[in-house]
Structure 1
C-alpha cells in the first residue's frame, strides 16, 4: 500500500523530502516560494473523500502541523493550504508560506511567473530546514471526536 507512483508533473516539479505516516512530503522546486506538497500514499485517489475518515483527519493533521512549523521557521504572513487537482488529478495538498513581499502576493502562486529552480545548496538548505521542523513532531493519527 505504501508504493506510490507520482504523477509525471509532480515528479518533474518537486523534490523528495520525507515520508510521513500518510503522505510523501515533497518540496516544490521553485525557490521564489516556501512551498511543499503532500501526496497521500494511496494509489488512484484523486479526491479527499476517497480517503477513509481517519486518513482525511491524518491528511489535515499533517498539512496543518507542517504549515504552522513552516510559518514559524520562515516568518511568513499567511499559510495557504489547498488541494486543486485541475491539472494533476492525483490527490495532493499544497502548503505555501506566503509573505506580503513575495513575487505573487496577494494573488495565488499557481501559474505566477517562471519557476526558479533551487540550486543544489538551496535544495539542501530547504530540505534541512523542513527536516529540522518535523524532527520530533508526533504525526500520529489525531484522535478527533465528532
Structure 2
C-alpha cells in the first residue's frame, strides 16, 4: 500500500495550509480569489467513486467547511463572496481534489470559470502568510 502524496503539480500554484480529518488543505496562490483546494489524503484516488462511502460523506462535510473558510477569507479582504464555485475537475491533475473558489460579479472573470485561465496574481509574502494563518485559525466547521 502506498502512502498519500499530493501530486507535485499542486506546488506550482498553491501552498499547503493544514490537514483536516480527510483532506490536505491548500490555498491557491492567487490573490484575485479566496480559493482552497482539498486533496483527500488517500493514495491512488482519481474519482469521487474511489472514496469509501464514509470518506465521501467526510469530503462533503469538509467541502462545506472550506466554503465557510473561503467566505471568511473574502470578508477579511473586504471582498465578500457572492457565489461559491465547487468542482472536482482533474483534467490537468488527475489526483482527486476539490476546488472551492469564492466569486464576485466584479472579480474580472465573472461569469466565466476560473479554471484554466492564466493571469494568476500571487499573494505577496506577507499577504500569503496572513491568509494561511487565517485558514489555520479558522473556527469554520
TM-score of the aligned structures, taking structure 1 as reference length: 0.85
> Which residue number in structure 1 is paired with residue 99 of structure 2?
94
Count of aligned pairs between the two proteins = 136
> Which residue number in structure 2 is paired with residue 10 of structure 1?
10
Alpha-carbon shift at residue 73 of structure 1 (Å): 4.8
Alpha-carbon distance in 1 for matches of 2:63, 2:140? 16
Say yes or no: does 1:77 pair with 2:97: no
**Structure 1 unaligned blocks of 5 or more:** 138-146
> Which residue number in structure 1 is paired with residue 64 of structure 2?
64
Deviations 1:50-74 (A, max 9, x none): 0000000000100112202422552
**Structure 2 unaligned blocks of 5 or more:** 75-79
Alpha-carbon shift at residue 87 of structure 1 (Å): 0.8
Alpha-carbon shift at residue 113 of structure 1 (Å): 3.2
Aligned to 1:76, the other structure's residue is in SS state coil
Aligned to 1:127, the other structure's residue is in SS state helix
Aligned to 2:21, the other structure's residue is in SS state coil
Aligned to 2:55, the other structure's residue is in SS state helix
TM-score of the aligned structures, taking structure 2 as reference length: 0.88
Alpha-carbon shift at residue 12 of structure 1 (Å): 1.7
Misfit runs of 4+, over 6 Å: none
> Which residue number in structure 2 is paired with residue 131 of structure 1?
136
Structure 1, 89-98 or 120-129: larger mean CA deviation: 120-129
**Quick one: structure 1 residues 2 and 105, their matched pair in 2 at CA, closer, same or farther if it must change by over 3 Å?**
farther
Paired residues of 1:2 and 1:41 also in contact (CA < 8 A): no
Alpha-carbon shift at residue 2 of structure 1 (Å): 9.7
Equivalent residue in structure 2 for 1:121, among 119, 123, 126: 126
